[in-house]
Amino acid sequence: MPQTMLDGRVARHELRPAPDHLTAFFWEAALRHELAIQKCDGCGYFNHWPVPRCKKCWSTALSPTKVSGQATVYTFAVATQAFHPWFESRLPFVVAVIELAEQSGLKLVSNVIGCPVDDVHCGMAVEVTFEDVEEGFTLPMFRPAATRGLGQ
């Protein structure tokens, strides 16, 4: 999904992650449209960002584990200035700290999309979605959670 910059050029996303042996699973899962977080086989604790040893029990037996993607917005900012051309056409956009449902305090940073920026609020229920930025590069993002109304 190349973006057209203000000067008319189409920018490739220069801000791709450079995965390493700890983080590659996260980005590979994103390509499959899955959100995966490192979980300790020993004590069950989710660690994010990925670590070489579990922070709770020091185990090195850590498995990428698909999570539900259900989450809430802990906090957010509405970016109104682009610090890289890629973001110019996206302004304003929401950068948020997202707390995942699986574990209290398990957080990551992402964007909230799929609603007007003024609708985003702390405590908002969101769910994971995926933006295929370009070949081989997908970003997990979050959108308002599907309404679980009368039909559940």
Partner 1 sequence: MKGQRVAVVGVGYSTIGRSTGLSLDDLAVEASIAAMADAGLKPTDIDGVATHCFPHQLVRPTRVADLLGIPDLGWYSGNFDGAAYVVAAHHGIAAVASGSCHTCLTIRSVHRMGASGGTRAWPADGIAGVDQFLVPYGDTTAAHWAAMYMQRHMHEFGTTPEQFGEFVIAQRDYAAANPDAIHRTPLTMDDYLSSRMIARPLHVLDCDYPVDAGSALIFTTEERARDMVHKPVFFESWAAGTTDVLDFHLLESMPQSSPWRAAQRMWSKTDLGPDDVNIAGLYDGFSFIAMQWMEALGFCGLGESGPFVEAGHTRPGGRLPTNTDGGACNVGRRHGANFFIEVTRQLRGECGDRQIPGASVGVVSNSVGGFAGCALMINE
**45 scored as a contact of partner 1 (CB under 8 A):** no
Distance of CA 58 to the CA centre of its chain: 26
> Least Å distance between CB 134 and partner 1?
11
**122 scored as a contact of partner 1 (CB under 8 A):** yes
Stretch that binds partner 1, among 1-9, 37-45, 59-67, 68-76 (CB under 8 A): 68-76
**37 scored as a contact of partner 1 (CB under 8 A):** no
Exactly one of 60, 84, 114, 119 binds partner 1 (CB under 8 A); which one? 84
Exactly one of 76, 100, 126, 128 binds partner 1 (CB under 8 A); which one? 76
**93 scored as a contact of partner 1 (CB under 8 A):** yes
Both ends of the chain: CA-CA distance in Å?
34
**Looking at the DSSP assignment, which residues form a beta bridge with residue 63?**
39
Find the Cα–Cα–Cα–Cα dihedral 36, 42, 48, 52, rounded to 10°.
Answer: -110
**16 scored as a contact of partner 1 (CB under 8 A):** yes
**43 scored as a contact of partner 1 (CB under 8 A):** no
**57 scored as a contact of partner 1 (CB under 8 A):** no
Answer for the pair 144, 115: CB distance below 8 angstroms, yes or no: yes
DSSP 8-state class, residue 130: E
**Looking at the DSSP assignment, which residues form a beta bridge with residue 94?**
78, 112
Instruction: Name the region of 24 (left: φ>0; alpha: ψ -120 to 50; beta: rest).
Output: alpha
Site of interaction with partner 1 (CB under 8 A): 13-20, 23, 48-49, 74-84, 87, 90, 92-93, 95-97, 105, 107-111, 121-123, 133, 139, 141
